[in-house]
Chain A
Amino acid sequence: MASTVTTVVEEEKVGTIAMTIDGKEVQATKGSTVLEAALAAGVYIPTLCYDPDLTPYGACRLCIVEIEGMRGLPTSCTTVATDGMVVHTETPAVNQARRVAMELIMANHHGDCLTCAKNQQCELQKIARYLNIEQEHFDRLRKSTQFLPVDTGHPAFIRDPNKCILCGKCVRACHEIAGVGAIDIAFRGYAAKVSTMGDKPIVESMCESCGECLARCPTGSLLPKRTIQPTREVKTICPYCGVGCSVYLGIRGNEIVSVRGDEESPVNQGGLCVKGRFGFDFINHPNRLTKPLIREDGYGKNIEVDGNFREVFREASWDEALELVASKLTHIKESYGPDSLGVLSSAKFTNEENFVVQKFARAVLGTNNVDHCARLCHASTVVAALAAFGDGAMSNSIADFAKADLLFVIGSNTTECHPIIGRIIRQKMESGETTLIVADPRNIDLARRAMVHLRHKPGTDVALLNAIMHVIIEEGLHDKEFIAKRTEGFEELAATVKRYTPKMAEKITGVPQADIVRAARLFAKADRAAILYGMGITQHTTGTDNVKSLANLLMLTGNIGREGTGFSPLRGQNNVQGACDMGALPNVYPGYQRVNVAENRAKFESAWGTTLSETPGITVTEMVDAVHKGKIKAMYMIGENPIMSEPYMSHVKQALQQLEFLVVQDIFPTETAFLADVILPAAAFAEKDGTYTNTERRVQKMCQAVEPPGEARPDWQIISELSGKMGYPLGYQNTAEIMEEIASLTPIYGGIHHDRLDSYGLQWPCYDELDPGTPMLHVDKFTRGLGKFHAVEYQPPAESVSESYPLILTTGRVLEHWHTGTMSRRSEVLDKLNPNGVIDIHPEDAFKLGITDGDLITIASERGKIEAPVRVTDKSSPGLAFMAFHWHESPANALTNPVLDPVAKIPEFKVSAVRAVLSVLDRASQDNEFFAKLAENPAEALKEYKLSDEEKAAIMSGDVRKIESWVGKLDNRLKEWLIARLSQEKW
């Protein structure tokens, strides 16, 4: 759709032209349409199908005008304005045609305006008024008698085709903005309507529920189910992923009743994904924590709390709760030393709060044992990029993706995990201007759009990347000038990758050598290439090496420090970049100033008026082991849910049960909170102000929209009060004051103050008041001076398949949910859209295991097992299972491997050896040893057990009835399975 119309919008819009509109001399931007020129000149022309974000469509026929020297009535939305053009927007002919068009629509329009939720915001209504259409005008026309069924199945919105005027905005938004194409106009003539594939309900289509259609519908045809009108709007930042979309929350009373994207935002330009548009209702969820809670005596931590939460915890006053926390922490600190305490800060709350929390840990508790969940996502990025470039963050800006000639997406399911960035990639692919290479073991959405899909085995990234670099160097495609001027260590790299021939890499990675060569050539020959990556790269024992390899590839081809190029770790949580920047890490103060450097320590000691520990603390993942070893006795966890997010769930749970004292500060009673001694109710994102730093280092201001429920308070206030109770009053009056202190101590935030953060925010480094921020790092010089190549050898993942665990499980996320589901699972719309965790298995494996789509299966690793329905899909590869980790009912992290990257201490979430069986089979096998053997290896069972000839015959012929008479009644699905299994056996 886009390609045929693009020339209208792609005309160079440089310079101005002079034209006359309705007798008025006006200036217009060259290349703009007559409609754009008129609107810019303040001349209103009615339209129903025009939208500045979409390609001109010319369907509603309302924007017609007369242009001197031009035949007929051209549509102003599609006619390019030219110098000297004379336009008349309101002639008798124009008005007559407009009137007829409007009358035709209205004669065909269903609905009573008074009860339509779009009343007074309806474009159709406005234009009818503008054109002075009166009842008698269209009474002479035949009225529509057609009634089409209304699609009400979507949890968030209703599609009423009877109010549709076929302006095509929804269709174009779905194609051009979302890049999805879930809807199109179907059927012909009067029967034409907006339809999904096969005219099924929208929930059964490929719709991603981003609501871009909803936001653009001019009538009541697409309406949210919640249609309460807000009385005011507050601009803030979306609390989900690291993209950092700017949103306007519509408030009525103390409730968020609507959400819309901020069109001014350089990040999302008004766009939102399903979470941003429909996922904020968690704020009003009845489970919100509203009062401090203290664990009642006599309830051990090994009991299941879920059901009897209110019984186990009693409500307390803030004073009582904080007194208890203060005294316990003081006591433990005094008894075992400050390093017996551990603090988990949060990537979900503000920079100011992260700053306060790490200050509390360091200055009040006296330990550097403070960390947060960045450890689990991009710790390896920070370590590797600091080593290669001197900076651990994304080098360029999100807007740069649109400027690249080639995008290399590796280990990132961008369209699901960072939908707004994924959308930019889709749009670029649609326009045909960008080449896309995807490296991912799964056949993700972007892989389908890629020129080359490198479907490598999980954990073989270094081999793959080394082979790509091998080809580039062999063919002399590397950027010799850049390497000579800007980098060091090339020789070592060249020597190492020399051994990684595509042939060798094919053996390790499973990627055909021809594809490796093709990808290498495409990448090297692109003028501007950018790499985007996510957890697929970082969550490995070789995570640091993986990231170093990406840095190598960028430097090798000179793709850094220029527009449209760069190093782009896509950060997972809304403020994970900020939490790192604020020093919620065990080894650095805010701004990555190392704690074991004396002058840094001295600076902070003098600022905070206390002595600080010189020993770097331990990481989240190490803390779990430290608890097991008895080194850590108490923990303070804020906005983190390690039970769900850490690998090896049972191990983590045991650790937390073992703690002498655990404080959990959160907005909901999480799985982790059930193990707490004290639970403190915190305010959610819309209930406080502060700043978030998004994945492109943009510090953005968020504003309070509603009051927190009950006695919940912003985290910084809770910590401040606690700190005071522990004898160290922090004394902050507001978050702006905290930011002042951050700026004074953190050079890269030196110029960041709340009053400077308008709708664009500021990208760090921003050293002083006059610094406009830094959209691009490493322009002429790397932060560390010369960029450093690291020669890296391939190391296999820690765990590989075995006979008992023949599948590799890799984990990730899905579009509708986020992190441990604390928020998204409590959003009605999000949870309805994706209520169950499913396990993806390739059809080949499913066939081997006798599993069919939708079966409940048990998936087990050495560390635990879970049950979930299976989805048989070629999105997975043979031998690969995939599951997201959002569902507490089937927590994927019960299975994952806690083995760590030796430097970054990030666990290898992406590779765990597992086995999958039908759940009914698993249960039956537990109950019956003979049956277990029979299911696993029928021929062996026959040999091992003493069986009569009759029994043997029954087994060999698959006589399940008889088998049931020995092993007990079998589930129907299991009977089917067993018959299939026995018939496959070669006796």
Chain B
Amino acid sequence: MPFKDIKKEAIAQWEATQNSPNPRILLGMGTCGIAAGAGDILEALKLELEKAGIQAEIIQVGCIGLCYAEPLMEVVKPGMPSVFYGNQQPELIPDIVQDYLVGNNPRPDLALGTRGENTLEGVPQLFELPVLKPQVRIALRNCGNIDPTSIHQYIANGGYQGLINALKIKPQEVIDEVKSSGLRGRGGAGFPTGIKWQFCHDAPGKTKYIICNADEGDPGAFMDRALLEGDPHAVLEGFLIGAYAIGASEGYIYIRAEYPLAIHRLKVALQQMRECGLLGERIMDSSFKFDIKIKEGAGAFVCGEETAMIASIEGNRGMPRPRPPFPAQSGLWGKPTNINNVETWANVSAILQRGADWYAGYGTEKSKGTKTFSLVGKVERTGLIEVPMGITLREIIYGIGGGVAEGKDFKAVQTGGPSGGCLPASLLDTPVDYESLTAAGAIMGSGGMVVMDDSTCMVDVARYFLTFTQVESCGKCIMCRLGTKQMLDILEDITSGRGKDGDIELLLELGGAVKDGSLCALGGTSPNPVLTTIRYFREEYEAHISERYCPALSCKSLVTYRIDPEKCKGCGICARACPAAAIQGGKREVHVIDQSQCTRCGTCLNVCPPKFGAVTVASGKPAGILSETVVAGEKV
């Protein structure tokens, strides 16, 4: 069937759904939703709808990004407001079905927001909520709105128009379009996408390859997963456009095997593309031919590095190799190869659908468009967000994120995953763009954003991230394998009270050498968390080393838990809760912690009733002098 007809059919289907007299329920069934219990909600919904005898369509959609509100569902009842219900529980489903679908009460008490023309008294419009209002959804344009397993829904929403537009013009013109959009690689380094394509396009050779990097490995990052689960075709359309532009007829999607749902969605999408003539020979009746293979990664972080990814696809151990030659000259199987990440491809399809000028209308002068982030950590509203470049960290954390969780104080934000840096409160007004973040010592990275409150020890954070990069080092180059190990050893010494004078200087020296001397970006950026925390939180390092004092009271080796005999009522709660059985004391007797048994887990502090506040934690030397004391339930 010609694509024209497929599109006509898709639009007709979509309109029929939109205009159907039956209600529709859009349920967020990304991995995040499922983890939050969306599966149970689905079962409950089916049961209740059947019980109530209601003909309703349940559409499983991808993640809309409101992680804090999962499981999340949208109930669309013709002629009534479309209502989002967050934090769903199976017990609530009968009420919503009965009240809203059988009756006409949309239960504003349970609603998170509404969408569309019909509004609901006392319930805000979802996209007017502070969490969504500052966002601009380009890559995530369809996530949560369409059924990701339906190519027709994608097509009905403008999908594959970008490919049609691309095939009408020459590959060079496609590259020019991408160049003028100002799009930069969303994988982290921010290399201009159009220029990258140009290299590969210009490289001599008949056979060229194109790779979609879906090896999202940063701890705390899930943008690519959500995108592939929620709107795979947006990525695949961009991938096809790229293939056409550089002249590749074979592409690989390198995806983590830990993303089974995303892989499944991709496989479904590829099958649909084949059925619609979007893969194989003569795509859309043009001379363009292209096919895609999925290569599942085995869980090595370093395989996100281009040359390591190529080695892995070739069947070798995923280890980076020096550049030049760049993959654009000699990549997969020694042929010119272009690699971009998932989000970049989703932007490409949008750019070709709506034009470079439209896209370049967002963002800053040098960083155009939008960027997705997974906003996590000690923030009130965690989630997957997409914001225009240039927005400040403060706007993201306090506006979209709703500020630091549990009313605590902001301490730092870590951007760019394990290779990124930690920025302090004084830099909260830094605009989020490639240049500003780099200047501050952090990086944009692929979009992890971890907010930390004042209970976080910055030395320990550096140690944590370095543990990750050290374990994930491929072991090839000395700087990365041994340099990060040496730095980690030093950080472990510091956080466990064995720090020495000169350790900070040694960390800086080693950090510099690892940064300059490593073979690939994994090694080259791995000291960033250490270097930025020393830069902005040096006094914490010094306190650890010279006073054996952890200001955040977080490093176990440096803290002591005690029970104030004057305040202890002998209730026994702490003794019962202590997992190490380190607390002794009879009923109505003052309890004592046996320091030799105490594992410093903090359970006693947490369980001691606030009205007693008998448990205290302290850090510093010499032992016994309490530099700062935290009493259960409150801060002194």
Contacts and interface: CB of A to CB of B under 8 A. Distances in A.
5 nearest A-B pairs in the assembled complex, by CB-CB distance? A192-B475, A58-B322, A104-B482, A100-B513, A78-B322
B473 A104 contact: no
Contacts of B518: 61
A188 B513 CA distance: 21
Max chain B C-beta neighbours (<10 A), residue from A56, A58, A100: A100
A3 B478 contact: no
A59 B506 contact: no
B517 A64 contact: yes
A187 interface: yes
B472 A189 contact: yes
27 contacts: A4-B314, A4-B321, A4-B334, A7-B329, A57-B476, A58-B477, A59-B476, A60-B478, A61-B477, A61-B518, A74-B322, A97-B517, A100-B517, A101-B478, A108-B482, A140-B502, A142-B486, A142-B493, A185-B317, A185-B319, A185-B474, A188-B300, A188-B471, A188-B475, A189-B470, A189-B485, A192-B475
Interface in B494-510: 502, 506, 509-510
B311 A73 contact: no
Contacts of A804: none
A890 B564 CA distance: 85
Contacts of B331: 4
Interface string A82-99: 000000000001001100
Nearest to B513: A100
Interface residues of B, number: 46
Main SS of the interface on chain B? helix
Nearest to A181: B316
Contacts of A108: 482, 485
A128 to B, nearest CB: 14
B483 interface: yes
B333 A185 contact: no
Interface string B316-328: 1101011011000
B475 A5 contact: no
Interface in A185-224: 185-193
A108 B471 CA distance: 17
Interface in B252-266: none
A193 B482 CA distance: 12
B357 interface: no
A517 interface: no
A843 interface: no
B483 A188 contact: no
B490 interface: yes
B307 A4 contact: yes
A93 B319 CA distance: 26
A189 B517 contact: no
B366 to A, nearest CB: 19
Interface of A: 1, 3-8, 56-61, 64, 72-75, 78-80, 93, 96-97, 100-101, 104-105, 107-108, 140-142, 165-166, 168, 184-193, 432
Contacts of B153: none
A56 B307 CA distance: 14
A72 B324 contact: no
B330 interface: yes
Contacts of B324: 78-80
A147 to B, nearest CB: 15
A422 B446 CA distance: 47
Contacts of B317: 184-186
Interface in B457-489: 470-479, 481-486, 489
Nearest to A80: B324
A61 B474 contact: no
B386 to A, nearest CB: 32
A39 B307 CA distance: 28
Given A3-B314, A97-B517, A168-B476, A75 B486 contact: no
B325 A142 contact: no
Contacts of A186: 317
A64 B322 CA distance: 12
A96 B513 contact: yes
Nearest to B302: A188
B310 interface: yes
A7 B310 CA distance: 15
Contacts of B302: 188
B470 A190 contact: yes
Given A58-B321, A97-B517, A192 B474 contact: yes
A104 B513 CA distance: 11
B123 interface: no
B334 A105 contact: no
B476 A73 contact: no
A75 B516 contact: no
Contacts of B310: 4
A80 B325 CA distance: 9
Contact of A97 (B311, B475, B516): B516
B607 to A, nearest CB: 37
A185 B475 contact: yes
A189 B471 contact: yes
B519 interface: yes
A48 to B, nearest CB: 8
Contact of B475 (A64, A107, A140, A187): A187
A100 B483 contact: yes
B519 A59 contact: yes
Nearest to B330: A7
A57 B317 CA distance: 14
Contacts of A5: 321
B517 A3 contact: no
B470 A3 contact: no
Contacts of A190: 470, 473, 475, 481-482, 485
B178 to A, nearest CB: 25
B485 A59 contact: no
Nearest to B333: A3
Nearest to B488: A190
A1 B319 CA distance: 9
A7 B481 contact: no
B382 to A, nearest CB: 29
Max chain A C-beta neighbours (<10 A), residue from B316, B330, B482, B518: B482
B486 A97 contact: no
Contacts of A140: 502, 506
Contact of B479 (A74, A101, A184, A187): A101
Contact of A4 (B330, B475, B510, B516): B330
Given A105-B482, A189-B471, A189-B472, 10 more contacts: A4-B307, A7-B330, A57-B476, A78-B322, A101-B479, A107-B482, A142-B489, A142-B493, A189-B470, A190-B482
B478 A4 contact: no
A59 B478 contact: yes
A6 B314 CA distance: 14
A184 B486 CA distance: 24
A192 B513 CA distance: 21
A78 B483 CA distance: 22
B479 A104 contact: yes
B520 to A, nearest CB: 10
Contacts of A72: 516
Contacts of B470: 189-190
Contact of B322 (A3, A56, A105, A184): A56
A166 B475 CA distance: 8
B476 A185 contact: yes
Contacts of B472: 188-189
Contacts of A3: 314, 333-334
Contacts of A107: 482, 486
A332 to B, nearest CB: 67
Contacts of B316: 1
A78 B517 CA distance: 14
B478 A105 contact: yes
A189 B473 contact: yes
Interface string B288-318: 0000000000001010000100110010110
Nearest to A7: B330
Contact of A189 (B314, B319, B481): B481
A780 B24 CA distance: 84
Interface string B374-403: 000000000000000000000000000000
